[in-house]
Amino acid sequence: MLTTGGVSTAAAQSATGAHITGAASVASAQDSEAMLAARAKVTAKKSGIGKASATFNWKGQNRTGKFKIYVNDTSCDGWDAFTFLQFKIKKHGQFKVITGASRLYDDTCRQGGGERKTLDRYITSYKLHSIRIAVCQNDKVGTGDTCKFGKWKKNPKY
């Protein structure tokens, strides 16, 4: 039994109402809250095109875990819907937007259906400030694509 200042630890815990199991429960609850805070979801929706979302975990100032991506062509107009991610990093004191290379297309026009895919994690050597997703319509060749961007989701570990 450990003692501090002539009082046994058990007696001090008893006098203050503290218990080892109680302290462990509080620490466990705090860990759970920290894990929940690290989870994130980004979404985008545009009438006449479709909707997209991505769920992921923030893993630190410069990285994420894997992404679960979803896109659904809800317009059924013959033009495919697709999605991609954008990453806002801080490089040499300036913000820079990086567009992710991966695209996910939905050409099936299934109401409530859509396409799903898991993408690798994102890692940068700079600070990762935030992430957003786009839902786009694959327009006629040469006309550019019509896109709707979701809101930026800030990295809580930034």
The CATH number of the domain holding residue 144 is 2.60.40
Domain hosting residue 15, numbered range: 3-36
Together in a domain, 103 and 69: yes
Together in a domain, 86 and 148: yes
Q: pLDDT of 103-141, one tens digit each?
A: 999 988 766 689 999 999 999 999 999 999 999 998 877
Between CA 110 and CA 92 the distance in angstroms is: 45
Together in a domain, 58 and 127: yes
Together in a domain, 27 and 50: no
What is the structure's pLDDT at 79? 86
Together in a domain, 22 and 48: no
Q: Please state the pTM of the whole predicted model.
A: 0.73
Together in a domain, 15 and 80: no
Q: Where are the strands (E) in the chain, listed by range?
A: 3-4, 7-8, 39-46, 50-60, 63-64, 67-73, 81-91, 94-99, 104-106, 115-119, 127-137, 146-149, 153-154
What is the structure's pLDDT at 75? 86
Among residues 106, 102, 100, which one has the least CA distance to residue 136?
106
Q: Are 114 and 83 in contact (CB under 8 A)?
A: no
Together in a domain, 49 and 66: yes
Together in a domain, 65 and 125: yes
Give every residue of the chain whose pLDDT is below 50, as ranges: 1-37
Between CA 139 and CA 126 the distance in angstroms is: 34
Together in a domain, 45 and 12: no
Together in a domain, 65 and 7: no
SS3 105: strand
Together in a domain, 87 and 48: yes
Number of domains in the chain: 2
Together in a domain, 18 and 63: no
What is the structure's pLDDT at 111? 65
